[in-house]
Amino acid sequence: MCMNFIKKIPSASEIIEELPVPNHIKLIKKERDREIKSVFEDKDHRFILIIGPCSADNEDSVCEYIGKLAAVQEKVKDSIIIIPRIYTNKPRTTGEGYKGMVHQPDPSKEPDLYKGIKAIRKLHIRSLSEYYMVAADEMLYPENYQYLIDVLGYVAVGARSVENQQHRLTASGIDVPVGMKNPTSGDLSVMLNSINAAQSSHTFIYNGWQIETSGNNLTHAILRGAVDANGNSIPNYHYEDLFHIAQEYEKQSLKNPAIIVDTNHANSMKRYNEQPRITQEILMSRKYDSLLQKMIKGLMIESYLVEGKQTIGENVYGKSITDACLGWESTEKLIYDIAENL
């Protein structure tokens, strides 16, 4: 057998019992969840901004960043709901590289999944407790969702996971909004089928249990651009793309149709500094067309304290060790620009 069983990981209930959410914070989380859900149900017309580092690699720098977001949130609260990205699992195209805090709570040390699971839960609880910010994370491993079930306000399913059956079925049992990214091929039918599957009820095996889900009516689309057979990026944030996707979405008769546009990845051709320009174009398209105004609920933006990216070992505080991000000055300006142009 080609597996070395290193240590048994405690169950989600054991970890939650060890690291509980304080009762007064549960009330704050409940209210924040209600606000976010209301946007996707078209009951609240504020704009969603899912923003933060490509990967959460250091608790202190991520929390310093979230503290800055919290201060800006107060100033734009009438028009924008900010959801910080605390992405603790990272898919790797070749399998190589930093896989996120859940694998390596310290990027310079060897993987330790037990310490990692506790580290990511502590980070999400700290965001809630100190800044009253409910965060987003990517559901890379469906079985790990249980460790964060009571702290997450938004879940994303990535471009490489959106066709996976277990991701779709698990999303159907989550009670916060779940965004399904278009696959790297750009095939819209895959994304829409995934939304359809997650909005339906299912019976399946999950963490050793037979479970039944009720379906998640707040599952929706995330547009992140595509990559062709030659490795070239194909953006899908231009007006013609957005209008076509919105029309195709409407034909499906899915519940609560909604689109979040990712301004980085293939949409920016990984040119992180293009994100403000792309944002302005999306906002203009949204103003121009009533269908887009209704359906585009928000944006996903990658930013951190220091712009760009670094390699592990450079140790620049608050600078991404995965995809390059906007720096804080550009981020703060961008958020205010969005608030003025909705």
**1 assigned to some structural domain:** no
Is 156:138 a contact under the CB 8 Å cutoff?
A: yes
For the chain of 342 residues, list the mean pLDDT of each consecutive stretch of 10: 86 96 95 98 98 96 98 98 95 81 92 94 97 96 95 97 97 98 96 98 96 98 95 96 95 95 96 98 97 98 98 95 97 98 96
d(CA 47, CA 298): 5
- Note the pTM of the prediction, 2 decimals: 0.97
- DSSP H or E run through 240: helix 239-251
Q: How many CB atoms lie within 10 A of CB 11?
A: 13
**pLDDT score recorded for residue 1:** 65
Q: Residue 215: is it exposed, middle or buried by C-beta count within 10 angstroms (0-12/13-18/19+)?
A: middle
**106 assigned to some structural domain:** yes
Total number of domains in the chain = 1
Domain interval for residue 40? 12-340
**141 assigned to some structural domain:** yes
d(CA 195, CA 217): 9
**5 assigned to some structural domain:** no
Q: Residue 243: is it exposed, middle or buried by C-beta count within 10 angstroms (0-12/13-18/19+)?
A: middle
Dihedrals phi, psi of 111, to nearest 5 degrees: -60, 140
Is 191:171 a contact under the CB 8 Å cutoff?
A: no
**pLDDT score recorded for residue 91:** 83
CATH of the domain at 46: 3.20.20.70
**231 assigned to some structural domain:** yes
| Cα distances (angstroms) measured from residue 141 to each of 24, 106, 150, 161, 281 | 29, 20, 17, 9, 34
**282 assigned to some structural domain:** yes
**149 assigned to some structural domain:** yes
